[in-house]
Amino acid sequence: MRKSLADVIHTRLAPLVAAYVANPREVFDLQTTPDPTKGDFALNTAMKLAKAARCKPLDLAGRLAEALAQETGWFTRVEAVPPGFVNLYLREDAIERGLRRFAEDPQLGLQREGRCETVVIDYSSVNIAKQMHVGHLRSTIIGDVLARVLAARGDRVIRQNHLGDWGLPMAMVLWKVRPLLRDLERRGADPATELTLARLEELYREVTKACDTQPEVAAACHEVLVALQQGDPGLLADWRTITRLSMREVYRIYTELGVLLTPEDEAGESFYRDQLADTVAALKESGHLVESRGAWCVFLEHFKAKDGSPLPVIVQKSDGGYNYETFDLAAIRYRIHRLRADRIIYVTDARQALHFAQVFDVAQAAGWTKRDGQTVRLEHVPFGSVLGEDNKPLKTRSGENVKLADLLAEAVERAYAVVQEKNPALPEETKRQVARMVGIGAVKYADLSQNRNNDYVFSFPRMLALQGNTAPYLQYAHARICSIFRKGNRPAEECAGPPRLGHPAERALGLKLLELPTAVAAVAADLRPHTLCNYLYDLATQFTTFYDQCPVLTADDPAVRESRLFLCRLTRQVLARGLDLLGIAAPPEM
């Protein structure tokens, strides 16, 4: 039988459910039940549908259960339970079939149902001439996982690094740095070697101070901004120098982190410079633009200031200049109509929630979010702050922003100590490689495993612990399975079972393995990577139980040994695939 459990449920229930919803696929959510006396899976379709169906969830669950009970090749028992779940008890051979099918699928069941979408993911989006801070770390890490997950499901993912490269901060740096650049030129020195990002940031801080106290400096910077935006060739050349210099260091961090972003993904604010006037004109045409004190604004009904007065979205300032909102509006049009996005995802910290809510609303009011009769989904993916051990935003001891590069270097150094303790016999070179995978993996995982809306406390000891929901724990589970195959002198891919799930720990592990697609689908829907982390942690824990209770290489019965090796092979594959979706390396030994 080639069908999967999801197929079976779909074919049985779709006719029943289609009467209530347009896409029945979407309401078949299977969750493994933590308590085996309540079945292997619970189906929450009736809970989701009861309202639309205008009946009691339990009555609807009863009807679904009746339909599923006819699938005797799959279930030993099907029951509707209050308040409206359907508990499913699977036959052992049904799980075994599922595992064989799973093992044969190179995608491990990840390919999504239905039409694949074009998804734009706007993430990292660093600012030029400023060092990346921990907020950009979160955007970079979370956005990268979303890009990997959606691509693995078959969506066409377009990454967009919306660099902050065309606003006043850029003009301020330029004003300050131009005399330095000229001086370097006179001396025949290369700015790429003479000017670091740290130095640029220092200069930026100096100008910020100067602007506060000296109006003539502020005015000069403003002039630079206007000239830059009008395309002054000399300024543009310097602008390019600063941008490349700045991004060179950003790419160093991207490489260290192992994220997917490349120069091809750069489409900063400057990218939209020739589309801004058109964007404002299109807004005017849509009838939503109002002049207010010389500035062009859109007033949206449900956005009010604290005092109840209407809150404008300014798209062109009284001096003719454009702002953060205008860039984003231009970007929305470009992404919908040129990139043909079906879905646009923005990963920034929660403080930008109002900005995106407003911009999305303006785009919708202007009619830009409809294309070919479809509504393009615009989604803001907000996240909380990274805190220090003192529960305040992460700072160095001297109170400065923590530099990402330093943070990552320390993680790798501390990971080296962990590897050294766990496996001192490893060759030095391997130890160093593994320490990088573990250190970087730990930083990423500590971030991803939290519900992103929450703040979290950054703690090296906690993220590097070999016990608990950490990257090293998962990486170690992976390495341990690899060592089973090394010890048994068996290439993993030769271990083809067949699976036999006689022991409760084998059965539980088998079921857990089959849940990977559900966990990944949940991340694609809710854009919350911690769901996948929790799944992998459960899987690793389930594997530990299995490995404690079921001897593998020393099993007496060769058929049992083969089955267990097959379970080990699948667990290794799922752990590695899951970690890869999280952008974390899985070392074969540690």
Q: Which residues bind ligand ARG (CB under 6 A)?
A: 122, 125, 127, 162, 164, 328, 331, 346, 348
The CB density around residue 185, as the number of other CB atoms within 10 Å, is 11
- Phi and psi for 447 in degrees, rounded to 5? -75, -50
Using the minimum distance from each CB to ligand ARG, give the nearer residue, 123 or 535. 123
CA distance 363 to 356: 10
Per the rule left: phi > 0, alpha: psi between -120 and 50, beta: everything else, 349 is: beta
Q: Specify whether the CB–CB gap between 151 and 522 falls below 8 A.
A: no
Q: Least distance from C-beta 341 to ligand ARG, angstroms? A: 13
Using the minimum distance from each CB to ligand ARG, give the nearer residue, 20 or 346. 346
Using the minimum distance from each CB to ligand ARG, give the nearer residue, 164 or 517. 164
Q: Least distance from C-beta 348 to ligand ARG, angstroms? A: 5
Using the minimum distance from each CB to ligand ARG, give the nearer residue, 24 or 164. 164
CA distance 435 to 542: 26
Using the minimum distance from each CB to ligand ARG, give the nearer residue, 331 or 419. 331
Beta bridge partners of 69: none
Tally of CA atoms within 13 A in the half-sphere of 306 that contains its CB: 0
Closest among 319, 382, 450 to 135, alpha carbons compared: 382
Using the minimum distance from each CB to ligand ARG, give the nearer residue, 135 or 439. 135
In whole angstroms, how large is the CA radius of gyration of the chain? 28
CA distance 431 to 418: 10
Q: Least distance from C-beta 356 to ligand ARG, angstroms? A: 8
Using the minimum distance from each CB to ligand ARG, give the nearer residue, 144 or 328. 328
The CA distances from residue 119 to 149, 159, 346, in Å, are 11, 8, 11
Q: Least distance from C-beta 347 to ligand ARG, angstroms? A: 8
Helices (H) and strands (E) in the chain, counts: 21, 15
Using the minimum distance from each CB to ligand ARG, give the nearer residue, 331 or 440. 331
CA distance 256 to 251: 8
For the range 411-416, what are the long-range contacts, defined as Cβ-Cβ under 8 Å and sequence gap of 24 or more? Answer: 411/439, 411/440, 411/442, 411/443, 411/460, 411/463, 411/464, 412/436, 412/439, 412/440, 413/439, 414/439, 414/460, 414/464, 415/439, 415/442, 415/464, 415/472
Closest among 407, 147, 126 to 251, alpha carbons compared: 126
Q: Quick one: three-class SS letters along 67-126?
A: HHHCCCCCEEEEEEECCCEEEEEECHHHHHHHHHHHHHCCCCCCCCCCCCCEEEEECCCC
Using the minimum distance from each CB to ligand ARG, give the nearer residue, 162 or 577. 162
Using the minimum distance from each CB to ligand ARG, give the nearer residue, 243 or 475. 243
Using the minimum distance from each CB to ligand ARG, give the nearer residue, 131 or 470. 131
* Token pair belonging to 477: 């589970």
Can you give the length of the chain in residues?
590
